[in-house]
Amino acid sequence: MEGGAYGAGKAGGAFDPQTFIRQPHTVLRMVSWVFSIVVFGSIINEGYINKPSEEEEHCIFNQNHSACSYGVTVGVLAFLTCILYLTVDVHFPQISSVKDRKKTVISDIAVSGCWSFFWFVGFCFLANQWQVSNPNDNPMNEGADAARAAIAFSFFSIFTWAILAVLRLQHLKEITFQEEYSRLFPPNPQPFP
């Protein structure tokens, strides 16, 4: 692994798109980004139905507007969080302060852990509301595939964010070890007299 602190090259290094795309945390973040689009897109596009006798639309998840709102909100916010941290990852080599780099990696770990929890709650909530939905409320089974997609990708998102948090934590430990080793054994020791 090449030399900078907390997962970047030396401060002020140029951005290399090929290296950036190959990093496991970048790939996971992009996968999480796509999963969030699937969840909120499915709910927005087909998550609301109305009965022929009514004009008001109801959430496909047991007519519980909170379920649809939670799914859309978590999906959109996760989407924006992915964009934010992808941008931070692009600019990470320009962060010269070791303390700022450490704070950035630690915030990435904390945010990834929180999103894993939010997706777990979302999966449980959507799956439960889908399970208790009354088939008579949706006799044509409209939006069933979208509802299942939202539930499935909420489930997958739990793991992408959890793995992302673990990868970043592992990376932080490796860099911290390398940094401590470099401090104890400088690369260019002074020759003995």
| Residue pLDDT tens, the chain, 193 long | 444 444 444 555 566 777 778 888 889 999 999 999 999 999 999 988 887 677 788 899 999 999 999 999 999 999 999 999 999 888 877 877 777 778 888 999 999 999 999 999 999 999 999 999 988 877 778 889 999 999 999 999 999 999 999 998 987 877 676 666 666 776 665 655 5
**pLDDT for the residue 3:** 47
**pLDDT for the residue 5:** 47
**pLDDT for the residue 191:** 58
What CA–CA distances, in Å, run from 35 to 31, 62, 82, 167? 6, 23, 11, 19
**pLDDT for the residue 24:** 86
**pLDDT for the residue 185:** 73
**pLDDT for the residue 101:** 79
**pLDDT for the residue 45:** 94
d(CA 63, CA 134): 9
Residues, the chain, total? 193
According to DSSP, residue 59 is labeled: E
190 pairs with which residues across the strands? none
pTM of the entire predicted model: 0.81
d(CA 15, CA 8): 10
d(CA 105, CA 111): 10
